[in-house]
Amino acid sequence: MLSLTTTAATLTPPVAFCEEYEDFAAWVREFAASHADSYLEIARGTEFPWQLAQAMGAQGLLGLGTSEEYGGMGRLSGELTKVHLGIAHEELAYANFYLAQIAYTCNFTAPLLERFLPPHLASEWVPGIVAGEHIVAFGLTEPGSGSDASAMRMKAIRAEGGWKLSGEKTSITFAPHAKGIITLAKAEPFVDASGQEHRGGITCFLVPFDAPGIEVQQFDDPGWKPLGRSAVFMDDVFVPDEMVLADVGGAFRMVMGEFDYTRSVIGFMSTGVARKALDMTIEYSRIRNTFGKPIAAYQGVSFPIAEHATKLEAARWLTYRALSLADQGKRHTTEAAMVKWYATEVSLAAIHDCIIAHGHSGYSEELPLQSMFRDVSGLEIGEGTPQIQKLIIARSLIGREYTQ
């Protein structure tokens, strides 16, 4: 029989934050609150919010996971965890979605470039990301492929001293404003200088946007306007060997592993925005009167608030579980897929009902609710649609051989 020798006084419930996490959340919350009022104005325009990026850089919020050598807060370890990153992105999203989206991208690309670029190139690219002075886009999606990386058509052909890339990436966030793009392409088989044959395969490249042969075509979107989204065309764009990230042919496993973490963070960004919408609606329900009493007195208003608060809380803790598994080095692909699907779905449903509760004002540009709905909609389709996430979950539960 199992012997339980630990006393109750020493147990820390797995569903309660320790003081360190609470202090970290308060630190981020205090910073983010000072930028909350700018959200709607930024959402209406197309100008990139560099002032937000630089303010976060000065605070250290774009260097979570980047070493101090390059201006960051330190690499992920026992002191700085993926749970910390999740907390940061939820607090930022609650105040201003664009804070979270910029932090999400920079805290993904900066550590990746630090890890794989040679020092002289890392010093050129990474500190600027951490400081909010420039941004690097990430390009996976193509017109005929997204999560199905096997259908990728962008090619990389071996050239002297590097590679030549040709093809198209689409729906690339930040591309109109970025210094460069981390992109995936299928490297053709090649023979190295020693005569050894290599199979090639999906490979990751850092491509500066000022390289000859690149064209960026911006889309006109209903949301994410200040961030920008574009198609990126490459025609024999030369990339030197030192700007290949990881091994040739080894990018798929590397990037898919990162997606488990980034999909989890998307869950927090979604619930952060939805919780803000819900808090706005709770306050409105107290002050809006009909037939002599606040609308909060009607179950048609109060019950949806109760239901959405419960579902958002469930989504939050599912996200914490996924990130906790990540911090322990455990596989969490299924949990990340659950988060990506469920958190965005319940967040959109909550914001939708908040719009309805506000009536005509909720459907106007006077309030930020419409922009919130569009911004979370963008999160729902990014890094794998809900259908893709459900397929991942089903294959995990039932077995890939039964779900082909």
Tens of pLDDT, residues 190-222? 888 788 888 889 999 999 999 999 999 999 988
Whether the per-residue pLDDT at 8 is higher than 50: the answer is no
69-78 tens-digit pLDDT: 999 999 998 7
Q: Which residue has the higher pLDDT, 187 or 10?
A: 187
What's the token pair of residue 263?
């999909």
Residue 263 sits in the same domain as residue 242: no
Residue 270 sits in the same domain as residue 351: yes
Q: Could you tell me which of 203, 76, 197, 49 has the C-alpha nearest to residue 132?
A: 49
77-136 tens-digit pLDDT: 878 999 999 999 999 999 999 999 999 999 999 999 999 999 999 999 999 999 999 999
Name the band, by pLDDT with cuts 50, 70 and 90, for residue 13. Answer: low
- The reported pLDDT for the residue numbered 11 is 46
Q: Does residue 308 form part of some domain? A: yes
Domain boundary among 249, 278, 313: 249
254-269 tens-digit pLDDT: 777 788 889 999 999 9
Residue 322 sits in the same domain as residue 240: no
Contacts of 254 (CB under 8 A, 6+ apart): 204, 245, 246
Whether the per-residue pLDDT at 16 is higher than 60: the answer is yes
Contact 230, 302 (CB under 8 A): no
Q: Does residue 88 form part of some domain? A: yes
Q: Which residue has the higher pLDDT, 381 or 52?
A: 52
Query: Cα 81–30–13 angle (5° rounding)?
Result: 45
Q: Does residue 335 form part of some domain? A: yes
Residue 185 sits in the same domain as residue 319: no
CATH value at residue 105: 1.10.540.10
Residue 331 sits in the same domain as residue 355: yes
pTM of the predicted model as reported, rounded to 2 decimal places: 0.93
Q: Does residue 69 form part of some domain? A: yes
Residue 153 sits in the same domain as residue 215: yes
Q: What is the mean pLDDT of residues 240-244?
A: 97
Whether the per-residue pLDDT at 282 is higher than 60: the answer is yes
Residue 163 sits in the same domain as residue 244: yes
Q: Does residue 47 form part of some domain? A: yes
- The reported pLDDT for the residue numbered 4 is 46
Q: Does residue 1 form part of some domain? A: no
Residue 117 sits in the same domain as residue 174: no
Whether the per-residue pLDDT at 275 is higher than 50: the answer is yes
* Full DSSP string of 165-225: EEEEEEEEETGGG-SEEEEEEEEPPEE-TTS-EE--EEEEEEEETTSTTEEEEE---SS-T
- The reported pLDDT for the residue numbered 56 is 98
What percent of the chain has a predicted confidence (pLDDT) above 90?
A: 80
Whether the per-residue pLDDT at 36 is higher than 50: the answer is yes
Domain boundary among 249, 283, 306: 249
Residue 162 sits in the same domain as residue 242: yes
Q: Is 282 left (phi over 0), alpha (psi -120 to 50) or beta?
A: alpha
Residue 340 sits in the same domain as residue 357: yes
* 302 vs 300: CA distance, rounded Å: 6
- The reported pLDDT for the residue numbered 293 is 96
Name the band, by pLDDT with cuts 50, 70 and 90, for residue 391. Answer: very high
Name the band, by pLDDT with cuts 50, 70 and 90, for residue 360. Answer: very high
- The reported pLDDT for the residue numbered 88 is 97
Contact 140, 146 (CB under 8 A): yes
- The residue type found at 304 is P
Whether the per-residue pLDDT at 7 is higher than 70: the answer is no
Domain boundary among 94, 109, 134: 134
CATH value at residue 146: 2.40.110.10
CATH value at residue 272: 1.20.140.10
Contact 207, 256 (CB under 8 A): no
* 255 vs 203: CA distance, rounded Å: 10
- The reported pLDDT for the residue numbered 2 is 47
Residue 270 sits in the same domain as residue 147: no
Instruction: Output phi, psi for 46, to 5 deg.
Output: -120, 0
291-328 tens-digit pLDDT: 999 999 999 999 999 999 999 999 999 999 999 999 99
What domain count does the chain have? 3
Residue 265 sits in the same domain as residue 166: no
Name the band, by pLDDT with cuts 50, 70 and 90, for residue 251. Answer: confident
What percent of the chain has a predicted confidence (pLDDT) above 70?
A: 95
Q: Does residue 330 form part of some domain? A: yes
Whether the per-residue pLDDT at 40 is higher than 80: the answer is yes
Whether the per-residue pLDDT at 339 is higher than 80: the answer is yes
48-74 tens-digit pLDDT: 999 999 999 999 999 999 999 999 999
Q: Does residue 6 form part of some domain? A: no
Whether the per-residue pLDDT at 389 is higher than 90: the answer is yes
Q: Which domain holds residue 52?
A: 16-134
- The reported pLDDT for the residue numbered 3 is 45
Q: Which residue has the higher pLDDT, 305 or 146?
A: 305
